[in-house]
Structure 1
């Protein structure tokens, strides 16, 4: 569990700089240069992610059960992760109504993904991992919306084509992950195949 927690501190800590020290981030980026900042940021993020994956894998070998979620929560989690994948796609597909309305669909996707896993899993490692991501996403979304208001950020209106592309890409990515990649990468078939 130690490696999982260290990974979360490193990964989410790096991703929280804009939440807690946006001015310092801007000054440091100006001093180092955007390329150097992104390089250090990416290196720290990758190290944190490796620790999270390794630590979570170790923690799953000796699970500490906190509760047994009802079977129906797996179905709810499948629906929620579908929504999370659509939100993730909307973060990158240009000119879609989802991003125009929600402004930060990727962070909302992380919220929904984390919630889906929290309601469908009952082990301590799951609560630590997904609870940390959910808390981070709540704080990050709040900070991002505050920055938008302070800077008067305007988002381009969505188009039907952009919105449809977000839906198609999100559903296709979800299906590939739910029916194949999740079991291959994580060792768990979420839809019970």
Structure 2
């Protein structure tokens, strides 16, 4: 469990720098240069992610069951992860109404993904992993929206075409992950 906790601390810590100290981030970018800053950031994030994956795998070998979720939670989790994939697509597909409305759909995707997995899993490792990501996403979404208001940032209106492409890409990515990749990569088939 220690590696999982260390990985969460490193990964989410790196991803919280702007939220916690935007002025330090600005100074580091100016002092180190964008390339060096992004290089260090990427190395730390990758190390944190590797520790999370390894620590989570080790923790799953000897699960500590806190509760057993009702079977229906798996169906709700599938629906919520579908929404999370559409939100994730909205972060990258230009000109969609989802990003125009919510401004930070990737952070909302993380929040929705984490909540879905908390509802469907009752092991300690799951609670630590997905609970940490949920708390981070809630705090980050609030910080991002506050920063947007302070800077007067506006987002362009979305189009029907951009929104349609977003939904199709999100649903397609969800189907691929839910029916194929989740089982191959994680070892659990959430559907089927």
Shorter-chain TM-score range? over 0.9
Question: Is residue 107 from structure 1 mapped to residue 107 from structure 2 by the alignment?
Answer: yes
Structure 1: gaps of 5 or more residues = none
Deviation at 1:93, TM superposition (A): 0.4
Deviation at 1:53, TM superposition (A): 0.1
Structure 2: gaps of 5 or more residues = none
Hey, what does 2:26 align to over in structure 1? 26
Hey, what does 1:169 align to over in structure 2? 169
The ranges of structure 1 where at least 4 consecutive aligned residues each deviate by more than 2 angstroms after the TM superposition are none
Distance 2:161 2:27 in 1: 39
Deviation at 1:21, TM superposition (A): 0.5
Distance 2:184 2:167 in 1: 24
Hey, what does 1:152 align to over in structure 2? 152
Hey, what does 1:88 align to over in structure 2? 88
Deviation at 1:189, TM superposition (A): 0.1
Distance 1:179 1:188 in 2: 10
Question: Is residue 78 from structure 1 mapped to residue 78 from structure 2 by the alignment?
Answer: yes
Deviation at 1:105, TM superposition (A): 0.3
Distance 1:95 1:44 in 2: 32
If the length of structure 2 is used for normalisation, what is the TM-score? 1.00
Deviation at 1:99, TM superposition (A): 0.1
Deviation at 1:7, TM superposition (A): 0.1
Distance 2:126 2:106 in 1: 21
* Aligned 1:138-149 pairs, distance under 5 A: 138-149=138-149
Deviation string for 1:125-183 (max 9, x for gaps)? 00000000000000000000010000000101101111001000000000000000000
SS of the residue corresponding to residue 70 of structure 1 reads coil
Hey, what does 1:14 align to over in structure 2? 14
Hey, what does 1:47 align to over in structure 2? 47
SS of the residue corresponding to residue 92 of structure 1 reads coil
Deviation at 1:107, TM superposition (A): 0.1
Distance 1:96 1:180 in 2: 27
If the length of structure 1 is used for normalisation, what is the TM-score? 0.99
Distance 2:155 2:27 in 1: 26
- TM-align CA RMSD: 0.4
Deviation string for 1:22-42 (max 9, x for gaps)? 100011011101111111100
Distance 1:30 1:84 in 2: 35
Question: Is residue 185 from structure 1 mapped to residue 189 from structure 2 by the alignment?
Answer: no
